[in-house]
Amino acid sequence: MGHIQLKGVEKCFGDVMVIPPLDLEIEDGEFVVFVGPSGCGKSTLLRLIAGLEDVTEGTVEIDGHDATELPPAKRGLAMVFQSYALYPHMSVRRNIAFPMKMARIPQEEQERRISEAARVLNLTDYLDRRPGQLSGGQRQRVAIGRAIVREPAAFLFDEPLSNLDAALRVGMRLEISELHKRLATTMIYVTHDQVEAMTMADKIVVLQAGVIEQVGSPLELYRAPQNLFVAGFIGSPKMNFVDGTEAAKHNAHTIGIRPEHIDVSAESGEWTGIVGVSEHLGSDTYFRVSVDGFAEPLTVRAGGEVDLHYGDTIHLTPNLDQLHRFDAAATRLA
Amino acid sequence: MARNVTTSRKSINTIAAGALGFLMFFPVLWIVILSFKTEGNAIKAPLEILLNTGWTTESYGAVQARSNYFKHFSNSLIISLGSTFLGMLIAIPAAWSMAFVPAKRTKNVLMWMLSTKMLPPVGVLIPIYLIFRDLGILDTRTGLVIVLMLINLPIIVWMLYTYFREIPGEILEAARMDGASLREEVIHVLVPMAIPGMASTVLLNVILAWNEAFWTLNLTAAKAAPLTAFIASYSSPEGLFYAKLSAASVMAIAPILIMGWFSQKQLVRGLTFGAVK
């Protein structure tokens, strides 16, 4: 079981309020991602759940029991750190065994769980090595192994992939998702990378300055961002925003349109612009287009093989169904 | 071609470094050479000493006959180990709390401790001497253990603080998440990770205490006199006895030199800890 509920949780460091009171419910078995820019309080929130930081106000409930005053060891949660935080003086086997040793689990049971975890995580051949002799990806797998064997109520991941190189990150992302499907245990995952959030989460919690901006499934956030911050943060490349008269035409203070929701034509369209720099990704090409009367150039997606060059004049038509409208307070208009 | 240049430059550097090293080692070597000469030979011109004089161990015999080496040796041993042990006992909790639960003024406290090392010791010699006299611990090993512990305490605290700071906080948090109590966290995670640092701190402080001459000379007469006093007694008003002085010096530095030799890997690692990753 891993049902976690935060009620009026608030955190201050000295006089600075990092997290104003917030409520959040995490269902058993859910994969929840806390996402936001650096310093938005997502790691602090995770550490409050873990018990590594004390809440200033409010309660943390785990499976219906008030865990606010419980030390981390008693909460039944396992954590995977950004730096892996392996014990450098212990072999991989002893690293993985450590939480079971602390829990006084019988030796045979420890052995069974270690070999099971090692098999799942492809670590069988490395059990007698020290963490220093492993690659980054292997170290991260040991850290995950150490978390699995405890059979925790929930897994907490604190930016676990940010120390890995790009290729490895994609692989580990899949492995963690796979693990979640297999174990069906609650996972809370902190990242600043919205791609990780979109690809892995059942539910995304977008945070800014300690405040929850929106909670929802990846597609909900993509389709109906509640405010400008979420709209700009979710989706890659970023959503284009247009203010002024163009927005006023749609009865909004600001309109947002994603690069993939703009049709490109050589002959005619609603807006006319000049092609700037382009990024060819093979499958797609992203153009920066300076449109007459717009303060910022737009990012536009076109096919991978499209024949457009720097300085060309093109015509753009936004897909009106996919147009997002926001008022002066940056909130979504229905 | 480029390769040739590098090789020749490399050999020049090697020769220069070797020469410099030899220059620094030479006084010690010369002491060893003199200690194996007769008093008469030891005051001859250096080249003559090297080429035309025989070798003898009579100085060592004379030194041992005049003063009891092993008494001084055991004094040195007790004082250096005792002061280091006592210092560690006080410094470990101090460095621990400063490294893991720092307060606003922790840095100031550290600086203040270091600043005591900037004071010329002779400035406080009279008050300390008087306090020792009144407490009746002049010329006692207890007195020396206390004063050397105090002298080296700032260094011990600083070194340990640096080592403890190097232990990533996340590893301790991981232990906490893994269900370790504070005691288990200390025994299974902190101590094993801090042992290399603690070992080099102990080694360095044993060496510092062993070599400390100011306080050991000024606060002892006969009973508690360590090897530093043993050496000093050979540069006496009776005249200089180069061979015996050298023999005494060799006997005094040999133990620490041997210890240093066998632990040099640990020492170098300890002293460059944090600088090289």
Q: Which tens digit of pLDDT belongs to each residue from A74-126? A: 898 999 998 889 998 899 999 999 999 999 999 999 999 999 999 988 899 99
A274 in Cβ contact with A313 (< 8 Å): yes
Q: Is B147 exposed, middle or buried (0-12, 13-18, 19+ CB in 10 A)?
A: buried
A73: closest CA of chain B, how far (Å): 4
ipTM summary value: 0.83
B88: closest CA of chain A, how far (Å): 23
Return the structure tokens found at A112.
């069974």
Q: Where are the domains of chain B?
A: 2-59, 68-233
The pTM of the full predicted model, rounded to 2 decimals, is 0.76
A213 in Cβ contact with A232 (< 8 Å): no
Lowest-confidence range among A106-120, A158-172, A267-281, B238-252? B238-252
Contacts of B196 in chain A (CB under 8 A): none
Residue A275's pLDDT is what?
92
- A103 vs B: CB within 8 A: yes
* Residue of A49, A102, A149, A159 for testing the chain B interface, max B β-carbons within 10 Å: A102
Residue B2's pLDDT is what?
56
CA pair distance A26, A274, nearest whole angstrom: 47
Query: In this structure, are strands A31-35 and A186-191 parallel, antiparallel, or unpaired?
Result: parallel
SS3 for B250?
Answer: helix
A258: closest CA of chain B, how far (Å): 39
Sole residue written with tokens 């892995």: A200
Of B174, B180, B188, which has the smallest distance from its Cβ to A85's Cβ? B174
Contacts of B171 in chain A (CB under 8 A): 85-88
User: Cis link prior to B226 (omega < 30° from 0)?
Assistant: no
Q: Which CATH architecture fits A4-231?
A: 3-Layer(aba) Sandwich (3.40)
CATH topology of domain B68-233: MetI-like fold (1.10.3720)
Residue B270's pLDDT is what?
61
Q: Where are the domains of chain A?
A: 4-231, 237-326
Q: How far apart are the first and last CA of chain B?
A: 34
Of B245, B147, B163, B148, the residue nearest B196 (C-alpha): B163
Locate the chain A residue with the closest alpha carbon to B169.
Answer: A85
B266: closest CA of chain A, how far (Å): 17
Cα separation values, B236 from A104, B42, B67, B212, B242, Å: 67, 17, 14, 19, 11
Residue A87's pLDDT is what?
92
pLDDT lower than 70: segments of chain B:
1-5, 236-239, 269-277
In CATH, the number for domain A237-326 is: 2.40.50.140
Checking if the pLDDT of A23 tops 90, the result is yes
Of A50, A73, A150, which has the smallest distance from its Cβ to B180's Cβ? A73
